[in-house]
Amino acid sequence: MDRVIPGNAGAAPNGVALARKLAKTRLTVALVLSVAMIVIYFGFMALFAFDKPLLGTILMPGLSLCIVLGPLVIISSFALCLVYVLWANRVLDAGIRDLR
């Protein structure tokens, strides 16, 4: 049911459809990025819990695989956040501007 929002007296019904599409797209992007972060984090934790010898593999003197993968988990969270911010600035903000 398409209704006119009180503060938006001239809103067209297709504006409501665009807002719903934008909200659905935002939810999809958020879920995909969240699932990616969960897989990365719990994948590392699973390795830590169930395959310590693999993580203890020495790559160079003083550098094990665990020391490399640990910071990569943290860096991946920043990378996924950056992906969301870039997407939001380019797609989400443009869609919100189109609604106004």
The predicted structure's pLDDT at residue 11: 52
Span 22-44, mean pLDDT?
A: 96
The predicted structure's pLDDT at residue 9: 53
**For residues 75, 76, 80 and 83, what is the CA-based torsion angle, rounded to 10 degrees?**
70
Tell me: pLDDT of 91 over 60: yes
Which ranges of the chain would DSSP assign to H, the alpha helix? 13-50, 52-55, 65-87, 93-99
* Each residue's pLDDT tens digit, 45-74: 999 899 989 989 999 999 999 999 999 999
Q: Are 81 and 37 in contact (CB under 8 A)?
A: no
Q: Are 76 and 37 in contact (CB under 8 A)?
A: yes
